[in-house]
Structure 1
């Protein structure tokens, strides 16, 4: 009996000895891939900051949804009305880069504006009217569940001669390296298909393959929202937080429309995304750089990590008596939060309006990250209010800084104030507008923020901090872990 046990133990020991180096090899391969994907070089033209350039015809646009004094829901929309107008007069060039471009609604029900079909129809009609128009749409593969679905309006755009470029997200760094360390070895080679789907599409109708889900967990995105188009007297650009996504049509959003040399910089940043995805924009940005713009407001185009740097510098350079107003869908980035607390301590006047993170297309959200962050800001003495959302989201991403000197700087665009959006992970575009606080676009942005802060004429746009206050230490450290690791959707 003893001899039998000895033999069995020897065999088990040999098996363990044989398995151990293979397990170590697999672990090394996993860790090596995860680290490489988290820190690999960025593609050319990504994470840029343009020069600060003269700009003209700058307009601040906003979509606002609120309850009026009688409790009725009101929605004011300007952003896509202006976008449709600009596309409808284009003769030479339209370049549109949009994250969500679909009619998926998740579990939500509502009377949504059909933004996706309206925008697709505008592009198709204009291409038919102007056959020589270079019309390009760049979008994120989430719209097709990473190749698992066929979208009718995408098929129609291609048939009309519009270039449709789906962003190659594999070129980007991993925002969730814990999963990407596995996915790049096991699953990216599998591709995907629109045939044979057997799992429900989590975003809307249809069924998709398991491969769609496996790709989605990488949490990568081309999150940009931009437009470049020719106009009668030159070139116009638009940078926004709004998506042509039907179920997002009631979201609160903002945009800046502008003309001048900064439009060429915006186009060049989009050419970089087209190139990394195997596409091209058949138009030379140099043709846009000859615009003559009078002295006055100036603008800088910022992408990816350069957005973070500009935001943090803006807060760190604020002096006592300066005012900083923030309104954003997500606020989680530690560098920015620390800068805000330090600025508050040196008597910078700061106000923050946040989405309560409770609604996502019929699904209930946990309140992370904004509620734990709001508790931290509140403890530091920074006034916080919540958007009074009713199913929609407070989706803007705005920082407005006004100095005692009368100078002002406005930051807005696609980038939420989170690690995923600001640390060279997602593709993002924002702009920095430097001007006098009396410049119409700056003044309009200031009035927009004041409207949210003060609820004029009994319009219910925001509620006090106490309404959604959550000072749980457990949830605070949960947010910190999710932000640091990428194991989250924010």
Structure 2
């Protein structure tokens, strides 16, 4: 009996000690302050030279998968013009492939060769590439394409994720105390690489479990005549992602300088030496605020994206329409705002990826399917992208009112991690007269996905992938609330 009491006492003390460690870890995680310059909302600027760019993968009448692509062709055209400055901030930039590698396009190699060629043709050209440590498996593997870029004179900056707030506080606080100080080794390790080929260290997996990222996808380059052009997108230069459906906006004008300032903020805490020349960070000429009736653009990062989305949804009324195409939708505030807009009389349509395809691996449908069930129960019309190995990787909200169209698009999924100042994200918000060419393009694009022509099978009704099982709903709610998830 005494032995049992002693064992029980030991278990109680052990659990109490573990609870104390977890509590201290959470406290330490929450003590991390957001670096300066993040959660940026730039002033409204006149939208100049906008162009909607879309990659779409679909099934044709013969039952074959086809892919129409515009985004990286436009990016490469931008890079070819540059003579003074190129700044890229790109999340997935690697050759990692799943068990069924995608063969649509080797975008990783294409972009690598393009940047090397740009430097060779213009040795005075400054090229800055900011990327995420996932591309070196958090320091656990070499990245030969990044080494080639460094050799060509490209300033390659790996984002310092430890400067960011922790989305997974019950783990990350303890990691900061312990495993963080052991660093990592590019010589590899003894564990299989879940992201691709080769072996990696345990330290790589311990870093991965922080579940944080520089998830931005931006390109800024001069046009050879002293002006800047930019692209903000949802697309990654990742070969195994080359068939994904994505969206982008290309634009010029003062907002390009705002975009560069948002990137300088990342350089400030990720590099001691690489900086964007100050003359590029502000427009050369004073730029008055655009008139309310003119096309406008705002650069948004991190939580500023969520504030804009919630503001636009809250302002909807009967007669307005809301269209959302999203890869991951999980943020509780936005889900409730979509349902509230529908109940106020706005026509809300949500097009979701079914969250089943992940680079040759099949997923369980979280968070999309339990979230879709909740939306449908609230009266929202939901359809699914009919994926066939690829992902429906769009991240765009369109709000149409009688005289104006508002859209928010870019890198951010609508999840807690993407919108609550954990990941690094970049979107743009555009505000347009209802008859503007870009407004018409956005409306036509979404309508074509929602009601695809017979020669292009793209979306299917809610019932096709509906899954209303309780365990999925509770799994999603737990993962979204705690940060123990990849979304």
Fold shared by both chains (TM-score > 0.5): yes
Q: Residue 81 and residue 196 in structure 1: after superposition, are their counterparts in 2 closer, same or farther (change >3 A)? A: closer
Deviation at 1:27, TM superposition (A): 4.4
Q: Distance in 1 between matches of 2:305 and 2:467?
A: 29
Which residue in the other structure is 1:298 paired with?
Answer: 296
- 1:289 and 2:286 aligned: no
Asked if the contact 2:102–2:242 (Cα under 8 Å) also holds between the matched residues in 1, the reply is no
Deviation at 1:409, TM superposition (A): 0.7
Deviations 1:73-123 (A, max 9, x none): 111000000001101110110000000001111222332311011111111
- 1:36 and 2:34 aligned: no
- 1:207 and 2:207 aligned: no
Q: Which runs of 5+ in 2 are unaligned?
A: none
Deviation at 1:437, TM superposition (A): 2.4
Deviation at 1:36, TM superposition (A): 2.9
Decide which of 382, 393, 403 is 1:384's aligned counterpart. 382
Asked if the contact 1:267–1:285 (Cα under 8 Å) also holds between the matched residues in 2, the reply is no
Which residue in the other structure is 1:105 paired with?
Answer: 97
Which residue in the other structure is 2:428 paired with?
Answer: 431
Which residue in the other structure is 1:257 paired with?
Answer: 250
- 1:451 and 2:448 aligned: yes
Deviations 1:437-466 (A, max 9, x none): 222222212111111101113310100000
Deviations 1:49-92 (A, max 9, x none): 11111120011100000001111111100000000110111011
Decide which of 337, 355, 358 is 1:357's aligned counterpart. 355
Q: Residue 418 and residue 23 in structure 1: after superposition, are their counterparts in 2 closer, same or farther (change >3 A)? A: closer
**TM-score, normalised relative to structure 1:** 0.94
Deviations 1:270-314 (A, max 9, x none): 011111112422311556412569863111111111111110111
Decide which of 189, 214, 218 is 1:226's aligned counterpart. 218
Which residue in the other structure is 2:147 paired with?
Answer: 155
Decide which of 66, 72, 78 is 1:74's aligned counterpart. 66
Report 1:36-435 matches (<5 A): 36-38=28-30, 40-233=32-225, 234-279=227-272, 280-284=274-278, 288-290=282-284, 296-404=294-402, 406-435=403-432
Q: Distance in 2 between matches of 1:357 and 1:23?
A: 36
RMSD over equivalenced CA pairs, Å: 2.1
| 3-state SS in 2 of match to 1:135 | strand
Count of residues in Structure 1 that have an aligned counterpart in Structure 2: 480
Asked if the contact 2:21–2:174 (Cα under 8 Å) also holds between the matched residues in 1, the reply is no
Deviation at 1:201, TM superposition (A): 1.1
Q: Distance in 2 between matches of 1:456 and 1:283?
A: 48
Q: Distance in 1 between matches of 2:164 and 2:32?
A: 8
Asked if the contact 1:327–1:399 (Cα under 8 Å) also holds between the matched residues in 2, the reply is yes
Deviations 1:248-290 (A, max 9, x none): 0000000001011111110000011111112422311556412
Deviation at 1:41, TM superposition (A): 1.2
| 3-state SS in 2 of match to 1:60 | strand
Which residue in the other structure is 2:463 paired with?
Answer: 466
| 3-state SS in 1 of match to 2:454 | helix
Q: Distance in 1 between matches of 2:109 and 2:344?
A: 50
Deviation at 1:232, TM superposition (A): 3.8
Q: Distance in 1 between matches of 2:26 and 2:100?
A: 36
